[in-house]
Amino acid sequence: MDTNIILAIAQIAAVAIVPIIVWFLGIKYQDYKAKKQAQLDLFLTLMANRQKNPISEEWVDALNSIDVVFQNNKKVRAAWKEYLDSLNERSSHFDNQNSYKLDLLSEMAESLGYKQLKQTEIDRFYSPVYFGSQQTRQEILFNETLRVLMRSKSEAESYTDEEYESHRKELLGEPSE
């Protein structure tokens, strides 16, 4: 075969194959970026909600996503398993929940490239006094509303003590005597 024919075939093959390779590498890169973004989003959700009391639904959802989002990171998943164990009231680690939470967040930070982020910085959290007082007012309002509703047959007539006890047991699904 003539060298010109070989060069022509090589050029045609290159023109046909190079776009496929570029497309494949682009898909792989987008997949990698999407996974890294999901990890970062999960980490930021956990960081933003780490000291909320009561815990937020976002916090719980993020924790339950760790095994999927960090599926290839054994250290993060091991830290998550230890933290999850510490959340169980019967666990010997129950009293050290915060330490395990800090370990988990620290491991995630490290895997995302935040190598200078210390556990003391992760543990630091700002919550304005207003949020605490607002939550206290909401709890008082809820408890008072519940007390009034549970003690009333209607808005104008209260239960007797016996009627209240029967009504309370009915609402809570307890057997009547």
Q: How confident is the model at residue 157 (pLDDT cuts 50, 70, 90)?
A: confident
Q: How far apart are CA 47 and CA 104, in angstroms?
A: 11
| Residue 27 predicted with pLDDT over 80 | yes
Q: How confident is the model at residue 169 (pLDDT cuts 50, 70, 90)?
A: confident
Q: Convert the pLDDT of each residue in 83-114 to its tens digit.
A: 999 999 898 888 889 999 999 999 999 999 99
CB neighbour class for 128 (10 Å; exposed up to 12, middle 13-18, buried from 19): exposed
Note whether 54 and 117 are same-domain residues: yes
- Block residue for tokens 């091991």: 78
Residue 69 near residue 39, CB atoms below 8 Å:
yes
Note whether 112 and 149 are same-domain residues: no
How does the average pLDDT of the chain come out, rounded?
Answer: 85
Neighbours of 82 (CB within 10 A): 18
Residue 177 lies in a domain: no
Share of the chain above pLDDT 70, in %: 92
Domain that holds residue 150: 130-172
Neighbours of 76 (CB within 10 A): 26
Note whether 87 and 158 are same-domain residues: no
Note whether 43 and 94 are same-domain residues: yes
- Block residue for tokens 């075969």: 1
Residue 43 lies in a domain: yes
Q: Convert the pLDDT of each residue in 110-154 to its tens digit.
A: 999 999 988 888 888 776 666 667 777 788 788 878 877 777 666
Structural domain total, the chain: 2
